[in-house]
Structure 1
Amino acid sequence: MRFFKFNILAFLQQGLSAKQFRRRAFADLLRGSEAGKASLNDVAPDFIERIQVQSQLIPSVLLNRLGTQEAGLSDAEATAKRERVGLNEVEHEKPMSWYQHLWLCYRNPFNVLLTVLALISYASDDDIATVVIASMVLISTLLRFAQEKRSNTAADKLKAMVSNTATVLRRDIAPDAEYHTATSLHARDAHRIELPIKLLVPGDIVVLSAGDMIPADLRILTAKDLFISQAALTGESMPVEKFAEQRDHSVRNPLERDNLCFMGTNVISGTALAVVIGTGNQTYFGALAHRVTSQDRAVTQFQAGVNQVSWVLIRFMFVMAPVVLFLNGFTKGDWVEAAFFALSVAVGLTPEMLPMIVTSTLAKGAVLLSRKKVIVKRLDAIQNFGAMNVLCTDKTGTLTQDKIVLERHTDVFGEQADVVLDMAYLNSYYQTGLKNLLDVAVLEHAEIHNQLNLASQFRKVDEIPFDFVRRRMSVVLSEYDDQHLLICKGALEEMLAVCTQVQHGDTVEPLSPTLLEKIRSVTTELNQEGLRVVAVATKRLVPERDIYSVLDEAELTLVGYIAFLDPPKETTAPALKALQTSGIDVKVLTGDNELVTLKVCKEVGLTVKGVLLGSKIDLMDDAQLAAAADTATVFAKLSPLQKERLVMALRGNGHVVGFMGDGINDAPALRAADIGISVDSGVDIAKEAADIILLEKNLMVLEAGVIEGRKTFANMLKYTKMTASSNFGNVFSVLVASAFIPFLPMLPLHLLVQNLLYDVSQVAIPFDNVDEELLLQPQKWNPNELSRFMLFFGPISSIFDIATFALMWFVFSANTPENQTLFQSGWFIEGLLSQTLIVHMIRTRKIPFFQSRAAWPLIAMTVVIVAIGIFLPMGPLASYFKLEPLPLSYFPWLIAILLGYASLTQAMKGFYARRYGWQ
């Protein structure tokens, strides 16, 4: 399967879930005015024919062909179909086989280089070098395979905790069914249930409302103001309206059919009832799958950082290896031995453990985050989590308790009026779109005041669903046959725009400038008390029709206001303080009134530097918005596209931006942010767009996740610093020794064994502790800083390597080719121990072992590797590895050299940190 031609680590680092990758690939594939038409050549003709027929059939005939009814399938029928057609998943999402995974874990430039060296050694009858190099390849591949297998398993389990669902009709649900049964619909024996999307089958009847993902290919049966975003398939940003009937039967492109919806799109507004006509590979999505799998994926910032780190080391390898080859070839005269030695040096500079270390560190971070109620959908999002320095968040439910209560219901003059509560209750009760927390609060308040029998006196005629442009919604009811009653509620300014009269008691009067001023005064006072104001208006209509539209929201009579209270959470103030301490600037992006938002910000201790309204954002160009985005703290009365534009402006200013939201209006901004954060209770489209899901909508949980992300990043950075500086120092020492010593300072076998042992010692780095000060500020990949670090600390080890050369040459008289084994044994131990020591020196800016102690797995691994390094020359295997025992008088000198190395490195760390900082 071509989908798996990429390394799985790269896939995880890529920054897209399988679904997100396919959708973005579709967007790239189909973008443009002729996008959809251009893709038809790649869809099987029989698929086009089938979907055309399903679009044209009358609903009763279509339902009969699909073996279903208006009330949906029974549980038994759905199970039988699922066994026949399979799960609602595209086939190439299936996990790769173990041997494919193993091959991909092996296939990287570093392992290929080692394999070539092993083959050369084997051809040269150098069995020991062959075994050692093969062991390096085997250990690197198997460790990576095991870690990635564990990380994939953990990631799958975590993602399963936040699976998307669809609202489906079922007939005759068994009493012991695991699904949640909701209110019955008009169809007999039909019940709404929430079903995992993958369990849908053809013939299922699906209920759609704002915020829903389209879970399969659907034929619409009924629709009311249904607008669908098809950007994931066509790249077109504007939503399209869908209907139950096809208006133009000559349209061949399925995406342009009025009564069809496709997997991967989402509902912007409105409601609908639809039947599933295709699942899995039988969807339009599946029909184009082979085109998607051939598309190359864009490299994310994280993957680019990892690649840059690798190439820094590879460039040094390409420079150093030839220099070592020619230097040893000319000075020693043995070009074959020089070639082996140069290849060993090249191996020493290759970060073959980097993929394994990165994967295991990210996987461990994801598991730890899950324990803190943070679910990571993309492993590389952890790095962005730690790098985030601006957090954009909504107000409701994040800063506040998300437990909205209806505090007051007043007329236009601020006096309590029961008629306002009655109208608001009827509106919330009869609307079938996305019921938000305000509707829930109205219904609960009405229940307390025994108004439930009010709804039974009315019959619903029609509904005009909410959208984020109008910011209001209406229902049309009939109490008597001689008139219809339109009840509209929404944001104050948008309501005033369609009102021409106001009601006070039994009198109705025109909306004059004086009254308008009074209205603003009353609502401002309510806002300053921290109450969110929603206006309620009505309109009496002659019952000439049963279908109404947005155009009917005109010449309304303002009845009054309902005011809601959403008190701040107790945890918000300490969480904001913790985020500020962590170097994260919090900005509030809300569709609510600025006065209410300022009141909440004051109560939670958030310092507001400036306020910017959505109406002013529309008047700004990109440069003006970029400047305003940095200076303001509160952005109020925003539309979804304004939120997205603000996030893009902040990113353009160089910030790593996180956006936290859970509504359909947050989806564009979630996609635009470096890291999208949603909650498990959010709408489907918000969870799909997010990179991280919080199981609890709490800034304190978020702050804990940020810290864990920084720990994960810090441990990845440790490995790259250690590997780069240590390997560069070793190679620099090799160059010096090669120029002045008449024999090889270390055999290729010694270099390979030393490198193997050092790499094994790094396996415990993902479990290491991190200093507190490294968690205080956001962190980013910085390849340029890595090069500077390598050049700064690498030569320090060379100073003490040269001291070891002098020790072996002058003190122990290992200065002839006959005594080269003693020389090589002395440098082998010193080189391995200094490399292992640098792990503890560079992992912290503090004094190691005293001010900052590594985690016990890393300490244990260090002790084991040091013991093996000393045992090899001193034990019975010495001759096998072409080493020899050293005199006991060597070891006091060794201790002195290592202490000197540690002291100088510690001193240089202070100088480096003061000048360049310590990441």
Structure 2
Amino acid sequence: MKEDYQVSIEETIEKFDTDQKVGLTQEIVDKRLEENGRNEIQEGKKTSPWKLLWNNINDLIVYLLLAAAVISFLMDDLAETIAILLALLLAVLTGFFTELQAQKSVESLQSMIYTTTTVIRDGKTQTIDAGSVVPGDVLLLREGDAIAADGRIISSNNFACIESALTGESEAVEKSPDDISEEEVPLGDQQNMVFSGTAVTRGYAYVVVTETGMETEVGKISGMLDEASDEKTPLDIELDKLSKAIIVAAFIAGVAVLVAGLITDKPFVEMIHIAIILAVAAIPEAMPAVETITLSKGMNTMAQRKALVKSLPAVETLGATSVIASDKTGTLTENQMMASELVLGEKTHYEVTGEGYDPHGSVKKDGEEIVPENNQDLMQFIQSGVLCNTAHIDQNEDGQYEVVGDPTDGALVTLGKKVGLDREDLENEAFEKIAEVPFSSENKYMIVVYEKEDQRQLIIKGAFDVILDLADQTQETKDNLQQQNEMFAEKGQRVIAIASIENYDGGLTEEEMKNSLDGLKIQGLVGIIDPPRPDAYESVESAQNAGIKVKMITGDHPKTASIIAKDIGIADHERIMTGKEIDEQVDNENFAELVDETAVFARVSPENKMQIVSALKKESEVVSMTGDGVNDAPALNDANIGVAMGIRGTEVAKEASDMILTDDRFGTIVDSVKEGRIIFDNIKKYVSFLFACNMVEIVAIFASVVFLLPMPIAPLHILFLNLIIDIAPAMSLSF
């Protein structure tokens, strides 16, 4: 059976019994909505309050205390029974309310994935609730639209989408309705398809919906999240061992007491009472309360530092983390294209500072900040990039800067704002756009003609190789420009060439402009990257100094991944494992070892990410996986602790994670791991303290039986010591 991308336009229309101009009738829509359900991603199973309460009760030490309470009750010792139950209630309710509050905080971050979309139904263009989209609907997608379902493109014009949330690639992907005959084409290369959860950056297209809801690529990934099972944290494992040791010790002590009692002819009931005293003495009643309070404090501390932890055990797991496996796009990098370097003319080189689409930044030459306004040629060059453009930058409610349009165009608009140039202001003041050839995947360039004071200027912007061929310049100049292009490419930058014709006197139709490029001169080149986050290098170094391995896992190109990895200190060599290599070697005996030794993984699928996490866990690593995209969700769910980005993170990624970074900083995860280690060390300290205190009580009680001395302490006294006297110094050790 053919995949949707392999099916021709005609076959697609026939398969879904639809029509490009008329769309579906409302009658068919209602029928398909009933058959397929609403176009929604099913929410993951929410943990009910009762489940949260049970999670805090289901503990061996709690069971031991319950057993002691039951025996005390059966022996008519109501005071002891109440004291033990109060100790239990303190620990259980503290943990319950802390986790319940964390769950509510997470829910407050969640938002609806779908809003509205434009469809053609009954021959009319309508805006509808995206949840009511059905297979066969014809969508009209325009620049800036969020795509609500998977679909086959049937016609388009200059159409491109940003698919970073699904594939990990930060650059826009050119789309067209052209047929694809190849088999097993990766999502990122299915250029005749659009996918739910992505967005349109340029142009428009008509699309026949092929999949909705849980059958979309996003839905399939979301469905994978149910496959992972809950795992005990390292602390849970250690405390379980400790609890079992307590049971064995209490049993041995009890048997020894009974034997000693029989030898000394003491009453059986008295021996049972002494056994209860030993059991109560052996159990560190304060430990559940201290552990819960310690982890709760850690959770609150992390929340203040922009790390929202969903559950108490996750706090401790952070402390045991030995590997941070991080997505690249949006986690280690900004997921915002930025002009980082310029070449004016043939060789004059400039650096650009700033972060993503934030308009604050500067231009430097030879490391020294300059005043661009004093350089007319530089300002003219940047102005050309601003005018030959259709994107614009907006600031959302959270103060974050976002691009509407193509990300590469957004980088040029931001560059203009850094030197005080704005397209709208330029057009209002002096420049009138009188002609345009939109960017297309066939041409790989955009042309505009502006008129100012009766003089016309043609500006062309596009792929370096294409513009170089069109330029009317000497071979020596072209060779110099080629060297600059290669220099940018070696740094993993996307190179955009900007050229112009001053005093343009050619025609204004598309064909006339294409054929009137004599005298075209390249003004300069722009190197554009998705830059590393400002604190990425420092955070990676900090993690490595703490003995934590940092690995980059991305769906992006190997070369791009390698360059970013070197820039932020993850790897200093060329060794990269691709998704294809993972598929080929996943069944090999040494696969887990190979993964553990590799720092950079590129062109990986969601399944590959899960395979990487699984392999690392086989090597006894405690894995923290960070990410923000839909493609990260399965691995986030499968890792010992999944960490999602709170600002740019998708809903699916947030739901799959154990912790959400509300500031999207990679450095926050490193800080959280360090906080988790402090908590883990503190837990070990107070556990040692509590057991030392309890051991003194056990020895005193056992000695009184062996040497026929009066019982030095009653169960209620032990509870008082363990809960009131011991808890204060134990708490001091936990902070």
TM over 0.5: yes
Q: Deviation digits for residues 393-421 of structure 1, max 9, x if unmatched? A: 3556656666642246899x999999997
8 Å CA contact 1:625–1:646 kept in 2: the answer is: no
Give 1:750-765 correspondences, 5 Å limit: 750-761=714-725, 763-764=727-728
Cα pair distance change 1:443/1:367, threshold 3 Å: same
Equivalenced residue count is 575
Cα pair distance change 1:656/1:437, threshold 3 Å: farther
In 1, Cα distance between equivalents of 2:624 and 2:388:
36
Give 1:649-798 correspondences, 5 Å limit: 649-684=615-650, 685-739=652-706, 741-746=707-712, 750-761=714-725, 763-764=727-728, 768=732
Give 1:333-412 correspondences, 5 Å limit: 333-394=266-327, 404-407=337-340
Measured after TM superposition, the shift of residue 335 of structure 1 is 1.5
Name 2:8's counterpart in structure 1.
none
Matching residue within 113, 125, 150 for 2:97: 150
Measured after TM superposition, the shift of residue 523 of structure 1 is 4.9
Give me the CA root mean square deviation.
Answer: 6.3
In 2, Cα distance between equivalents of 1:649 and 1:610:
22
In 2, Cα distance between equivalents of 1:600 and 1:98:
43
8 Å CA contact 1:324–1:738 kept in 2: the answer is: yes
8 Å CA contact 2:616–2:623 kept in 1: the answer is: yes
Q: What secondary structure, in the 3-state scheme, does the structure 1 residue paired with 2:628 have?
A: coil
Give the counterpart letter for 1:755 in structure 2: L
Give the counterpart letter for 2:704 in structure 1: A
Name 1:140's counterpart in structure 2.
87
1:109 aligns with 2:63: yes
Cα pair distance change 1:690/1:98, threshold 3 Å: closer
In 2, Cα distance between equivalents of 1:445 and 1:695:
28
Measured after TM superposition, the shift of residue 384 of structure 1 is 1.9
Name 1:121's counterpart in structure 2.
75
Cα pair distance change 1:766/1:119, threshold 3 Å: closer
8 Å CA contact 1:640–1:668 kept in 2: the answer is: no
8 Å CA contact 1:168–1:207 kept in 2: the answer is: no
Share of identical aligned residues, percent?
A: 18
Q: What secondary structure, in the 3-state scheme, does the structure 1 residue paired with 2:114 have?
A: strand
Q: What secondary structure, in the 3-state scheme, does the structure 1 residue paired with 2:308 have?
A: strand
Measured after TM superposition, the shift of residue 373 of structure 1 is 0.9
- TM-score, length-scaled by structure 1: 0.49
In 2, Cα distance between equivalents of 1:207 and 1:138:
64
Name 2:575's counterpart in structure 1.
612
Q: What secondary structure, in the 3-state scheme, does the structure 2 residue paired with 1:380 have?
A: helix
In 2, Cα distance between equivalents of 1:399 and 1:226:
18
Q: What secondary structure, in the 3-state scheme, does the structure 2 residue paired with 1:266 have?
A: helix
* Structure 1 spans left out of the alignment, 5+ residues: 1-54, 69-86, 123-129, 172-185, 193-199, 230-237, 245-256, 270-283, 286-291, 465-473, 480-486, 493-498, 509-516, 537-559, 771-854, 856-919
8 Å CA contact 1:719–1:762 kept in 2: the answer is: no
Q: Deviation digits for residues 772-793 of structure 1, max 9, x if unmatched? A: xxxxxxxxxxxxxxxxxxxxxx
In 1, Cα distance between equivalents of 2:472 and 2:678:
66
8 Å CA contact 2:287–2:690 kept in 1: the answer is: no
In 1, Cα distance between equivalents of 2:255 and 2:544:
50
Name 1:563's counterpart in structure 2.
527
8 Å CA contact 1:458–1:478 kept in 2: the answer is: yes
Measured after TM superposition, the shift of residue 342 of structure 1 is 1.2
Give 1:379-458 correspondences, 5 Å limit: 379-394=312-327, 404-407=337-340, 438=408, 440-442=410-412, 444=414, 448=421, 450=423, 457=436
Q: What secondary structure, in the 3-state scheme, does the structure 2 residue paired with 1:579 have?
A: helix
Name 2:397's counterpart in structure 1.
none
In 1, Cα distance between equivalents of 2:257 and 2:598:
57
Cα pair distance change 1:732/1:714, threshold 3 Å: same
Give the counterpart letter for 1:144 in structure 2: A
Name 1:868's counterpart in structure 2.
none
Q: Deviation digits for residues 845-878 of structure 1, max 9, x if unmatched? A: xxxxxxxxxx6xxxxxxxxxxxxxxxxxxxxxxx
- TM-score, length-scaled by structure 2: 0.59
8 Å CA contact 2:413–2:422 kept in 1: the answer is: no
1:600 aligns with 2:547: no
Measured after TM superposition, the shift of residue 681 of structure 1 is 2.2
Measured after TM superposition, the shift of residue 628 of structure 1 is 5.1
Give the counterpart letter for 2:644 in structure 1: S
Measured after TM superposition, the shift of residue 382 of structure 1 is 1.3
8 Å CA contact 2:317–2:640 kept in 1: the answer is: yes
More helix by share: 1
Q: Deviation digits for residues 123-169 of structure 1, max 9, x if unmatched? A: xxxxxxx1332222331232134313430343134313531431302
Q: What secondary structure, in the 3-state scheme, does the structure 2 residue paired with 1:678 have?
A: strand
Q: What secondary structure, in the 3-state scheme, does the structure 1 residue paired with 2:663 have?
A: coil
Cα pair distance change 1:754/1:159, threshold 3 Å: same
8 Å CA contact 2:325–2:551 kept in 1: the answer is: yes
Matching residue within 534, 537, 546 for 1:582: 546
Measured after TM superposition, the shift of residue 504 of structure 1 is 0.9
In 2, Cα distance between equivalents of 1:409 and 1:384:
45
Cα pair distance change 1:159/1:581, threshold 3 Å: same
In 1, Cα distance between equivalents of 2:90 and 2:257:
31
Matching residue within 266, 287, 302 for 2:218: 266
Q: Which one has more relative contact order, counting CA pairs under 8 Å at least 6 apart?
A: 2
In 2, Cα distance between equivalents of 1:61 and 1:343:
74
Q: Deviation digits for residues 316-356 of structure 1, max 9, x if unmatched? A: 22222122122123224311211211122123223444444
Name 2:249's counterpart in structure 1.
316
In 2, Cα distance between equivalents of 1:692 and 1:733:
46
In 1, Cα distance between equivalents of 2:388 and 2:250:
72
Name 2:178's counterpart in structure 1.
none
Q: Deviation digits for residues 169-210 of structure 1, max 9, x if unmatched? A: 299xxxxxxxxxxxxxx9989599xxxxxxx9879999999x
In 1, Cα distance between equivalents of 2:598 and 2:446:
44
In 1, Cα distance between equivalents of 2:30 and 2:540:
57
Cα pair distance change 1:408/1:584, threshold 3 Å: closer
Measured after TM superposition, the shift of residue 701 of structure 1 is 2.9
In 1, Cα distance between equivalents of 2:278 and 2:663:
51
Cα pair distance change 1:63/1:305, threshold 3 Å: farther
Q: What secondary structure, in the 3-state scheme, does the structure 2 residue paired with 1:391 have?
A: strand
In 1, Cα distance between equivalents of 2:404 and 2:237:
40
In 1, Cα distance between equivalents of 2:578 and 2:44:
43
Q: Deviation digits for residues 678-734 of structure 1, max 9, x if unmatched? A: 321233133333322212233443333223212322333334323334334433443
Name 1:533's counterpart in structure 2.
494
In 1, Cα distance between equivalents of 2:624 and 2:52:
36
In 2, Cα distance between equivalents of 1:534 and 1:268:
36
8 Å CA contact 1:366–1:376 kept in 2: the answer is: yes
In 1, Cα distance between equivalents of 2:434 and 2:214:
36
Measured after TM superposition, the shift of residue 263 of structure 1 is 9.0
8 Å CA contact 2:299–2:308 kept in 1: the answer is: yes
